[in-house]
Structure 1
């Protein structure tokens, strides 16, 4: 079996806890992660002034094929994801190919902005609900999976979200092994 590969899209204002937790969990599961900056700079300044340096700029890697495209939240970061044509093109290609798309916190608004997954079950940070309820079946679960779309609520749900991505890409046993190694006892 070939190694799974993912891309996590970062813009200034991204929620750093979500980004780092997801990257860490995926790498613990031995899933390749490309951290891609959608900005012109290699280092992103996140919502709490933490800087994360990307592996690549999106324009250099957007034509690759990914098993999952992952969008962390953060209000300003999510707005940038929503306004990026490159992000929209990547998400549309991913959806057309039936590959996994995962968005947490405010990032499901970027799915809406690019016309991704309309009618599917999703969740988001609570204050984003009103922007999403007309186009999706909105739930308030910590993590919601509907076909190839995984969404989650916010920083406190990032571990469960990351483990759900591992389970979808690999299997339940792999997710449980990562959870056990992190002493994350709530993942069952």
Structure 2
């Protein structure tokens, strides 16, 4: 049974082609820590299929009439392919990520997804890391690529 330990809320965004462990392990850890967290589909369908053909049913979609990015204190982008590309192609999500980051609100990206932050110009001059196959994207957009343990 979930027992909230904070009033802070987290939205984890699910796109077709995501890496399921990067999204589901995170949501499980937040649940266990008592952090309210919604699994949010970037499509108008609650069901999202991972890169390994695992179907996950989300709590809500960004297409919901009452969906509001500002109802959350943190936005999280899991990686995976082509999930990362699908997240990047979602303009409302990218607009919200940019608005959160530029206003100092929390944004996190896992594995390949930091490349989205780099492409949005949010990592310029900042220390960042990603899956090694995407570190060139971070560097090309001005991030100070780090390879230490995170």
TM norm structure 2 = 0.88
Q: Which has the higher helix share?
A: 1
How far 1:2 sits from its partner (Å)?
Answer: 5.0
Query: Is the 2:10–2:76 Cα contact (8 Å) retained in structure 1?
Result: yes
Q: Which runs of 4+ in 1 moved over 4 A?
A: none
Question: How many residues end up aligned between the 2 structures?
Answer: 143
Instruction: Choose which of 5, 8, 25 in structure 2 pairs with 1:4.
Output: 8
Q: Give the Å deviation of 1:3.
A: 1.4
What residue number does 1:109 align with?
115
State the Cα deviation string for residues 109-158 of structure 1 (Å, max 9, x = none).
11123222322111101111111113200011232xxxxxxxxxxxxxxx
Unaligned runs of at least 5 residues, structure 1: 144-188
Is residue 44–residue 62 contact of structure 2 (8 Å, CA) maintained in 1?
Answer: no
The answer to whether the 8 A contact 2:44-2:63 is kept is no
Corresponding residue SS for 2:51: coil
Residue 30, structure 1, aligned to residue 34, structure 2: yes
In structure 2, the gaps of 5 or more residues are none
**How far did residue 96 of structure 1 move?**
2.7
* RMSD of aligned alpha carbons: 1.5
Return the match for 2:18 from 14, 28, 43.
Answer: 14
Q: Distance in 1 between matches of 2:37 and 2:90?
A: 21
- Normalised to the residue count of structure 1, the TM-score between the two structures is 0.71
2:141 is the counterpart of 1:137:
no
1:45 aligns with 2:45: no
CA pair 62-23 structure 1, distance change in 2 beyond 3 A: same
Contact map agreement 2:43 2:63 (CA 8 A) in 1? no
